[in-house]
């Protein structure tokens, strides 16, 4: 029986208490734990608006609104999973590669304990560190990315590491099994036609927002399942996948995106995939006056936990 | 012929003058009046973000943008209805039941005069007081609720009265004819599967957001009509029915909601129902930096008045 | 070969440098130039919220996020067009007709050089001045307006010139060839049924938001093409065409509008029309806390430039 | 005995009711009235940030926090004065001189009834209209201006009327008795040394912020009294007299200004002067996120009413 | 040697980690603890702007900027004190007296353990509960209040308990030793001269802002010391003591207040007083866009802890 | 005669045109130029709130409010100096030392041309690069720092370069002549007593805010002059020297600071010092909702230019 579950909001008001994700216990004791949610407060690798270092705090704040039961998927997460807030991983503001080293080291005990990591960014560069840690423990992984940008550029300003390049690096480092990798939602102006071509050359399947609009959500989900197959998969969700009206608080917003409803439908359609980790990145609270970006970010994680819980239930 | 109509914005600029709803006269003289719009500035019963006590002021401010003719329904409200801004009903900040008593007493002369009450909240707890007043005058009423939450929980923190419980109380008190009652739009995480079941056990028909998405707006409207039938109906519209991107300024936002366009279509589809009162609740201006939540709130009331006006015209 | 193109954001960060539109060179040298983007910072003719005088600055700021290649239309704008930021046209705050005279005079050399003008408002009154300049150079023009308001009222407060009247004036002055003129997107409450009728009496074709919703975007685009035909066309895009959730920062928001995605689709559907100028108006940054209104405004211009570039390519 | 006094906030909460100044009755019946507070919602004459047309609404909103007794001056305003909220005077957005004509006409019955006018701007151009009305009724008046700018420039952009020129115009029109006129608080960068010299050439005494800092508040007050003498005086208070930290919401903020405490001390030091009218201008709520500018604006009027009340008491 | 001290910001960035006060450990284990900081997230008793229930979270967020050494007092707090973040005390939103009961019960083990309680409000009504708990443990206490309001009104809206009445209630209940009680900083408009008189009749010494300005900070501090004497004293600090320019985020701002510098000087002047508890109340983050109110709130507590630490050091 | 001066705001409105500093020409032609103002948009070295990369844009925006004549110093800057906006220096977001190299290289032609550099940050780390460039051209320089932090820590998170360490590095690198170096304004909590001691050990004179308050501004200015002597001096002004109420938009605000008036007085007191460069750093617009921080930043530069202009005049 799970040890860890949220404080009950019918008894203790949701605005009360130290802010942890979904009012879960904050601990680094991994014994009996299924999922560890943690922040990676880092925005040094950002090319436009900075501030995502405050993303974990904002997502935790709004996650107080999450309850425990998902009526669309008909599952109570905490019947099947023991989840904790593990705190924030160590970072070195101003230093990307130092930060990567610390994040990899900090994730190691989590992965060693067989716990599913759920990271809250931070800018998208942090996913490279997470993938290094995951691949070190599990080998190259299947990969699903919801994002308005492919993030497979080679360099910015003559440098290899920033939030526009992590997935090119990940492929180069052999962290992703590209035969089971898919990027979904790319849109917005580009530097040239080669921008998306290079993702495909790296081995990713890529479905633009135009593709998803043309084919529909159901067909897209089918294609995702087909691509990632039955093996372990890491999910990375950049909140700028969602339209700026629903998610204004992000560093590189792109108009013409998906609604929060569509994001929920896509997430709910992932039931059955064997996820071994995820992250939710690029929430930037300084441009999120009503907190709605952090709220949809928290909900994306809620849907992920629901999918995991169903997997646990069905395997039990 | 109606006595009361808005100031003409072609002659007097909309930003001018004391803020009343839709620039209508502010009076408590009910003679010849068809509809009285009033505020119920109260947020003591709120379980998360407070501030809805400033909702009536914000809705009045943005209602200056309303004109008089509804081109979708092809009706000029003020050709058929005399409408006033009755001011705010008395409340007792910090004291829920005291407030209820004052609201009920204050609504009594309005109802006695045969005037249709249109309340601007305030948190959703105020609807219980309105229903008490209406039921005292008219007996148990048909009931239509647009909301992301059913608000039929039994208790929060060991207490019976707050903005999560009013409609359980209303049923217990016999204020609603549940055979003619329907709740539309429930979504978001819950405490458990029983949360929605209990609404149904109380006698409400309940259509979740998932239901409405699956069936479509037209079928939903048909079901609403079928359910509420030909008798008198009270409409309560919680602005969190609408998605946070369109309505960020509310106390308990739930992602994955309806657009303002869909809200308008639903409201316009209610022509012919015999409404005897309505309210629009949970506008929280402190989290509404551009005023768009108050604006959609004002428009919901505008659509309601249009529906009423058509009813008057067709009966005339 | 084009002389002018944006600074490359892969080399120089987008937040760097003097703010020009899309990081284009700021010059008034028109030699070899195809398109001149300029601001018309003016809000004196506004009937509700003022502040659109800061619209050009805000659109320039967010336009730093634009790249050069449009993947949906498969064109790199700057392969085909030389575009500059011409700066702001002179205005006289507080004086509408003085401003018109200065704008007309300032546009004259641009038009004489055969350069396509792209104006950034400012309130919608500025379009009358632009049309005067364009018609002086080219004669009466075809006309396409995306807007939630027809802006063909006769007078406000007893005066002929403000942002609610420019297109009645333009017809009276013979600036528009009404047989090739169409207004798209009207919605929201009106003063009476005559409001839209008068546009039709002036000779405009008019498609309300309700019409567009009923007929679909494709049919609407077909109707637009049919109406404007093969001759030269001026496009005016009021950002309030788009719903307030996507574009909160505007002076007279109307709920129930179009998404940014739909705006993009409409713009992309205009390929082949012979545009001789455009403007994007009514961005009001004081009510746009996250800059998303300015961002969609910049993107509308980006789509326009893409359409122009395709026309150039196809003619080449 | 005074007929009109504010609603009691110990009985009816301050956030309740239609927003009038200090919760006073809104009426245009001048019978028995001593002071009429009204708005002049106008910002067409603004040279930088627009939005002061919403100033009266914002000042009314925050004036709900005013109580009735001034402990520093030891007077209850409403023991001695009957005060009403007269509503807003008519304006013509976009047209300065039309607005002046309407304001002058609208003030005429107020002055004819011997009521002291208290205007809430609006940009500073409105004071010229008020002075025209006052001088028409009373002849040239003594004049006291608290402001960071002298507003005696001759022209902006080739035009005579805007918010930088009203007091040059007022002198030219003979509305002010310059022998009894003083401007206090000028600071900030200028176009040249002649800017302040020209005020003096027009006949004003002028005390810069530097002068006031050097001489102290007490000496400044003494000089004000000496200058304006025993005759009737009009007071105009531009909220930008106060430092932007205390009053960020204004169109032309100048750093290095006075604190709210100093503003209160100056106002309280005016007891005994025979004021026949005042205004408080340039509150711009779009740049006042916490409402503190409107709050200090309301307090300046509160101090003015206290001074008037003491005058009434002492004469009684 | 103290067990508990903040995380070192030279090693772990201040934006990292679960938000606790000053990055102290969050625990309810009182063993070896000198001071327990806790939140009392409650705003039901507020008469104007609600939202102070989010005060504890905001103060914790900004307290990350506090370091450990106070250079003005030359003391490192954590050399002398072991301080924890105890979390939030239980409250019942919407129910004042229920909340009081829970707060009193929750404080009981803290006081029993001889730990100094430091509460973060919440509206000022919570201080009555704290005083009940403290007096139950220690008997009637000396009392020092920094505030712009005396909060000794008798009733609001016919009810005895809200944030304007706690100190009348405290005297009636015998919680305060009024011979050793002083209120400092009262200012702003009142309902009548009796408002301050009644504080004095209850036995408080009262020094208005005018008094403090006239006498100076040093004399005020001397008077405070003289009044509270050598016995145990409870300090309550309402953030509205400070001027709204420094502390805009509060429910009932009053202009003409003290600077943050003056607040620091007053706090630092309290060295030697035997404080047995304190609270800092009325921080309202929804009106604090840059977080400066929460920041000064955190600093007031920092100064308090410094004073306590000096007391500990000097007694050691 | 100077070639470059601002656009005249009496003729062209201040909100018009491409945003350059004080509406000066944007050019990189240094011929005949006395002062080059440029941005250094960089915030990678920030330890708390990021976003200062947008500081140059914000300061330029608000600098439109600057006129040309300084009435307190009685000088028209542009009678004596030719000033340009040189644009932004190149930076590498995410990479501190790369950025330093680019900044040093970019400043080289400015210094070679004998032009006084005026940098707009960016976080305070950029000053190290500026000092490298200046010292390379001129040798070790006198140094005056207004700041709430000494920024002479040794390391953060094990790394040598960030915005808390530049002046230790500068001393180590021999860029500053510490015998002529003074730091003014330090305040706020510290890690320990050694924090300020280490500045003194490095050779700086250091005057805390407490020192300045005790001694007064005049004595402080006298001490500054004495210390920096007659040789060339670089001035660095961190906007957090000023209190957060006047300057909320900064990354590491410290309460208890100086007013904008005091900052002006200090700047004006520097007449006669031989400044060879300056910068104004740490303006963070995302936390500056009304732009007042950027405004005081622009004014600090205005005062600096006035001081330079007086120097030029007096030497002429």
**Interchain proximity B260–C245, CB inside 8 Å:** yes
Question: Across all residues in chain A, what is the average pLDDT?
Answer: 96
Segment E55-76 shows an average pLDDT of 97
Q: How far apart are the C-alpha atoms of E273 and E253, rounded to whole Å?
A: 29
Chain B hits for A9, CB-CB cut-off 8 Å, are 47, 191
CB B79 within 8 A of CB B119: no
**Interchain proximity D196–F68, CB inside 8 Å:** no
Segment D37-60 shows an average pLDDT of 98
Chain C hits for A155, CB-CB cut-off 8 Å, are 10
Report whether pLDDT(A264) > 60: yes
Report whether pLDDT(F249) > 70: yes
**Which residues numbered 74-93 in E keep a CB inside 8 Å of some CB on A?**
85, 87-88, 90-91, 93
Q: How many other β-carbons are positioned within 10 Å of the β-carbon of residue D114?
A: 11
pLDDT for position C100: 98
Question: Across all residues in chain B, what is the average pLDDT?
Answer: 96
CB D162 within 8 A of CB D96: yes
pLDDT for position F282: 98
Q: How far apart are the C-alpha atoms of A209 and A194, rounded to whole Å?
A: 17
Q: CA of A74 to nearest chain F CA: how many angstroms apart?
A: 41
Chain D hits for F259, CB-CB cut-off 8 Å, are 243, 245, 256
pLDDT for position E314: 87
Q: How far apart are the C-alpha atoms of F29 and F25, rounded to whole Å?
A: 10
**Which residues numbered 16-55 in B keep a CB inside 8 Å of some CB on E?**
43-47, 49-51, 53-54
**Interchain proximity A93–F46, CB inside 8 Å:** yes
Question: Across all residues in chain C, what is the average pLDDT?
Answer: 96
pLDDT for position D98: 97
Structure confidence by residue, pLDDT tens digits, D165-224: 999 999 999 999 999 999 999 999 999 999 999 999 999 999 999 999 999 999 999 999
CB F242 within 8 A of CB F220: no
Put simply, whether C57 touches B (Cβ < 8 Å) is: no
Least CA distance to F285: which residue of chain E?
E290
**Interchain proximity C158–D94, CB inside 8 Å:** no
Segment D75-96 shows an average pLDDT of 97
pLDDT for position B1: 45
User: Judging by beta carbons within 10 Å of its beta carbon (0-12, 13-18, 19+), is residue D214 exposed, middle or buried?
Assistant: exposed
Interface contacts (C, F; CB < 8 Å): 56
pLDDT for position F1: 45
Chain B hits for D93, CB-CB cut-off 8 Å, are 13
Reported as a pLDDT band with limits 50, 70 and 90, residue A1 is very low
Least CA distance to D161: which residue of chain C?
C94
**Interchain proximity B191–A70, CB inside 8 Å:** no
Segment A134-150 shows an average pLDDT of 98
Report whether pLDDT(D242) > 90: yes
Q: Interface partners of B (3+ CB pairs, < 8 Å)?
A: A, C, D, E
In tens digits, what is the pLDDT along chain C, a chain of 316 residues?
A: 457 889 998 999 999 999 999 999 999 999 999 999 999 999 999 999 999 999 999 999 999 999 999 999 999 999 999 999 999 999 999 999 999 999 999 999 999 999 999 999 999 999 999 999 999 999 999 999 999 999 999 999 999 999 999 999 999 999 999 999 999 999 999 999 999 999 999 999 999 999 999 999 999 999 999 999 999 999 999 999 999 999 999 999 999 999 999 999 999 999 999 999 999 999 999 999 999 999 999 999 999 999 999 999 988 7
Report whether pLDDT(D2) > 60: no
Which two three-digit tokens encode residue D49? Answer: 């940030």
3-state secondary structure of F211: helix
Chain E hits for D299, CB-CB cut-off 8 Å, are 189, 255-256
CA dist F10 to A190, B6, D162, D190, Å? 42, 41, 11, 11
pLDDT for position E1: 45
Chain E hits for D245, CB-CB cut-off 8 Å, are 245
Q: How many other β-carbons are positioned within 10 Å of the β-carbon of residue A295?
A: 28
Select from B171, B267, B174, B275 the least CA-distant residue to B232.
B275
Which two three-digit tokens encode residue A69? Answer: 């039961």
CB C155 within 8 A of CB C164: no
Chain F hits for A94, CB-CB cut-off 8 Å, are 44-46, 96, 159, 161-162
Chain D hits for F76, CB-CB cut-off 8 Å, are 192-193
Chain A hits for B186, CB-CB cut-off 8 Å, are 71
Select from A45, A38, A64, A46 the least CA-distant residue to A120.
A38
Structure confidence by residue, pLDDT tens digits, F45-79: 999 999 999 999 999 999 999 999 999 999 999 99
Segment B168-186 shows an average pLDDT of 98
Chain E hits for D71, CB-CB cut-off 8 Å, are 186-187, 189-190, 193, 195-196, 208, 210
Least CA distance to D295: which residue of chain E?
E255
Query: Of all residues in chain C, what percent carry a pLDDT higher than 70?
Result: 99
Question: Across all residues in chain D, what is the average pLDDT?
Answer: 96
What b-and-e string marks burial along C107-116, b requiring 16 or more CB atoms within 10 Å of the CB?
A: beebbeeebb
Put simply, whether B61 touches A (Cβ < 8 Å) is: no
Reported as a pLDDT band with limits 50, 70 and 90, residue D3 is confident
Least CA distance to B287: which residue of chain A?
A290
What b-and-e string marks burial along F78-114, b requiring 16 or more CB atoms within 10 Å of the CB?
A: bebbbbbbbbbbbbbbbbbebbbebbbebbeebbeee
User: Which positions ≥6 away from F262 have C-beta within 8 Å?
Assistant: F217
CB B309 within 8 A of CB B268: no
The beta-carbon neighbor of B264 closest among C193, C253, C256 is C256
Handedness of CA F167, F168, F173, F177 (dihedral sign): positive
Reported as a pLDDT band with limits 50, 70 and 90, residue B315 is confident
Select from A230, A233, A226, A84 the least CA-distant residue to A145.
A233
Reported as a pLDDT band with limits 50, 70 and 90, residue B294 is very high
Q: CA of A103 to nearest chain E CA: how many angstroms apart?
A: 13
The beta-carbon neighbor of E18 closest among A54, A87, A93 is A87
Put simply, whether C1 touches F (Cβ < 8 Å) is: no
**Which residues numbered 247-266 in C keep a CB inside 8 Å of some CB on A?**
259-261, 264
**Interchain proximity A244–C295, CB inside 8 Å:** yes
**Which residues numbered 155-184 in A keep a CB inside 8 Å of some CB on C?**
155-158
Instruction: Classify B302 in phi/psi space as left (phi over 0), alpha (psi -120 to 50) or beta.
Output: alpha
Reported as a pLDDT band with limits 50, 70 and 90, residue D1 is very low
pLDDT for position F206: 98
Put simply, whether A68 touches F (Cβ < 8 Å) is: no
**Torsion on CA atoms E190, E193, E194, E200, rounded to nearest 10:** 100
pLDDT for position E315: 83
Segment F250-257 shows an average pLDDT of 98
Chain C hits for A253, CB-CB cut-off 8 Å, are 65, 290, 292, 295
Put simply, whether B98 touches A (Cβ < 8 Å) is: no
Angle of helix B126-138 versus helix B96-112 axis, rounded to 10 = 40
The beta-carbon neighbor of D94 closest among C44, C51, C286 is C44
Q: CA of C64 to nearest chain F CA: how many angstroms apart?
A: 12
**Whole-model pTM?**
0.98
Residue with token string 């372990």: A232
Apex CA C182: angle with CA C177 and CA C185, to 5°? 155
Report whether pLDDT(D234) > 90: yes
Put simply, whether D119 touches F (Cβ < 8 Å) is: no
User: Which positions ≥6 away from A202 have C-beta within 8 Å?
Assistant: A152, A167, A168, A171, A178
pLDDT for position E311: 95
Structure confidence by residue, pLDDT tens digits, F150-200: 999 999 999 999 999 999 999 999 999 999 999 999 999 999 999 999 999
Put simply, whether D290 touches E (Cβ < 8 Å) is: yes
Least CA distance to E94: which residue of chain A?
A13
| Phi and psi, residue E181, nearest 5° | -125, 135
Put simply, whether E143 touches B (Cβ < 8 Å) is: no
Structure confidence by residue, pLDDT tens digits, E251-282: 999 999 999 999 999 999 999 999 999 999 99
Chain E hits for B46, CB-CB cut-off 8 Å, are 50, 93-94
Question: Across all residues in chain E, what is the average pLDDT?
Answer: 96
Put simply, whether F153 touches E (Cβ < 8 Å) is: yes
**Interchain proximity C87–F41, CB inside 8 Å:** no
Put simply, whether E198 touches F (Cβ < 8 Å) is: no
Least CA distance to E288: which residue of chain D?
D290
Put simply, whether C268 touches A (Cβ < 8 Å) is: no
Structure confidence by residue, pLDDT tens digits, D133-175: 999 999 999 999 999 999 999 999 999 999 999 999 999 999 9
């Amino acid at each position: 029986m799970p040890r860890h579950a949220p404080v009950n909001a019918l008894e203790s008001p949701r605005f009360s208490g130290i802010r942890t994700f979904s009012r879960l216990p904050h601990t680094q004791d991994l014994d009996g734990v299924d999922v560890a949610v943690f922040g990676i407060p880092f925005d040094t690798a950002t090319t436009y608006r900075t501030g995502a270092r405050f993303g974990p705090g904002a997502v935790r704040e709004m996650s107080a609104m999450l309850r425990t039961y998902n009526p669309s998927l008909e599952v109570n997460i905490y019947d099947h999973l023991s989840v904790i807030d593990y705190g924030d991983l160590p970072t070195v503001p101003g230093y990307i590669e130092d930060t990567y080293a610390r994040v990899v080291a900090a994730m190691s005990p989590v992965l060693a304990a067989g716990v599913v990591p759920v990271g809250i960014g931070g800018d998208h560069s942090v996913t490279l560190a997470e993938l290094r840690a995951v691949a070190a423990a599990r080998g190259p992984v299947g990969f699903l990315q919801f994002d308005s940008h492919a993030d497979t550029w080679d360099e910015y300003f003559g440098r290899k590491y920033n939030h526009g390049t992590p997935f090119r690096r990940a492929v180069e480092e052999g962290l992703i099994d590209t035969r089971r990798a898919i990027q979904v939602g790319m849109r917005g102006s580009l530097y040239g036609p080669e921008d998306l071509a290079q993702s495909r050359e790296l081995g990713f399947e890529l479905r633009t927002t135009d593709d998803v609009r043309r084919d529909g959500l159901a067909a897209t989900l089918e294609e995702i399942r087909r691509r990632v197959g039955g093996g372990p998969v890491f999910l990375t969700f950049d909140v700028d996948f969602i339209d700026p009206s629903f998610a204004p608080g992000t560093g590189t917003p792109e108009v013409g995106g998906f609604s929060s409803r569509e994001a929920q439908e896509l997430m709910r359609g992932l039931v059955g995939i064997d996820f071994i980790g995820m992250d939710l990145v690029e929430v930037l609270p300084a441009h999120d006056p009503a907190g709605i970006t952090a709220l949809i970010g928290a909900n994306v994680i809620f849907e992920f936990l629901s999918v995991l819980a169903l997997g646990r239930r069905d395997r039990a």
